[in-house]
Amino acid sequence: MTAELWQLPAATLREQIAARKLSPVELTKAVLDRADRLQPILNCFITLVPDQAMAAAREAEQAVMQGKALGPLHGIPYSVKDLVNTAGVRTTFGSRLYETNVPRDDAVAAARLKAAGAILFGKTTTPEFGHKALTDAPLFGRTRNAWNAERSSGGSSGGAAVAVAAGIGPIGIATDGGGSTRIPASANGMVGFKQSLGVVPHSQAPDAFGNYTYVTPMTRTVMDTALMLQAMAGPHPVDPWSIGIPAQDYISAARPDGDLRGKRILHALRFGNTYVAKDVQVAFEAALTRLRDLGAELIELDQPVPDMEAVWKIINHTTWRARFHDMILRDGERMSPSLVRQVAMAQDWTGADYQKAMFQRAEIFRLIQRWFEKADYLVTPTLARTALPIDQDLFEPITIDGIDVGELRRNFFPYCMAFNITGHPALSLCCGYDSEGLPIGLQIVGHFRDDASVLRAAALYEASEDWLARWPSL
């Protein structure tokens, strides 16, 4: 059984642990062994904590043997993106300036996974402060795609996606500020869910009220995402958006029961972008056919889409300038040039420019709310093409089907940013592979704070296909 442990989802592993068919010690050792073997190839971890993980696994095993009450993720190893604080475990934010930083406290999401019985075994790679859709930094180098070493993992949660895709660990905590969970999830064929604003409390957001960033699950299956969300969701005093928002029954929602009859799905192949790869279009249209076969009514979105990227950029880059400008003045030569350059872009924007962008943020939210008056879901591709080359530069144009299409952010993931600034739940899952065997992502967006409904639609689609039968050849 040990040879197959790395292929089992958390939902199965937790049942075997509770039934005493699998030891948390055996499972954790298998995870750490696989991490040791694959880290030199994939470079998806900044820090591994084998001694701490094994000690926690022994405690978890004792609890099982003593018949104690077990948490919903008891004995399940998990990783945490290195932007998320973990008590007593180095948290670098992908930055040389924080190379030896050890937080005293867990972020709320990490604390809740620990309380559910999960076992932390490592911190996954992120570009410095999660500033781009590629995962590389002077601190650790580049993280490779799980399916092709010559392709990027995507970002900024590249390490989280690759670790799960490679079967190193079944679940991981990621973050999403403009697509940072969904982009690498799509590029590596995983499930990446940016839940609604406030569903998972964000205890590290500098601006809690204007927040557009999320602490998220990264998994291989929709059910594992539901398990993580069930553990992490619920109100907390540190996050005003979370107060008064009880967790839904995500686990029941993620069971692929029934169909989509009576549901109306808006769909859009493009979202302000001009180019979409042919393989992505084919996979997207096939996914729409599958959703229709499940009983949904399909409605093409025929309205123009506002320039989401411009609004997101002003909000995001002025936030970064407030956070990092003084740091750059002191230590900019030790920081990622791409971060320094983006912070500089905001130097001429004023407080009025920021506030105007926030006005537009409200307008975009209301626009999408109107879309949802007549639809249950919006479905798009997650990315306009599959994973970028491993040496892709943030400021160099990308190509789609051999055509130079321009700037990366606007042309690679235009589908993602809108739902960071509006707060709607948006999930990416695999909907096929391109001609080179690289995964393609489907994004399902739902009504504000109806996260359970998104999980249900995703679970039904996932069960209707056999994409999960494929694994990367490492």
Query: Looking at the annotation, which residues are catalytic?
Result: 81, 156, 180
Cα diameter, the chain = 63
- DSSP letter (8 states) at residue 144: B
Task: Round to whole Å and give the CA distance between 178 and 194.
Answer: 10
Which residues lie below 8 Å from residue 23, measured CB to CB, with a gap of 6+? Answer: 17, 61
Tell me the three state secondary structure of residue 142.
strand
- 364 Cβ contact partners less than 8 Å away, ≥ 6 residues apart: 306, 308, 311, 418, 421, 422
**Could you give the CA distance from residue 179 to residue 193 in angstroms, rounded to a whole number?**
10
Strand ranges (E), 68-184: 77-81, 119-124, 136-137, 141-142, 171-176
Instruction: Please return the burial class of 345, using the count of CB atoms within 10 Å of its CB with bins 0-12, 13-18 and 19+.
Output: middle
Q: At residue 301, what is the residue type? A: L
Q: In 101-212, at which residue ranges do the beta strands (DSSP E only) sit?
A: 119-124, 136-137, 141-142, 171-176, 191-194
Amino acid at 430: C
Task: Render 253-306 in DSSP notation, one character per residue.
Answer: HTS--S--TT-EEEE-S-SS-S---HHHHHHHHHHHHHHHHTTPEEEE--SPPP
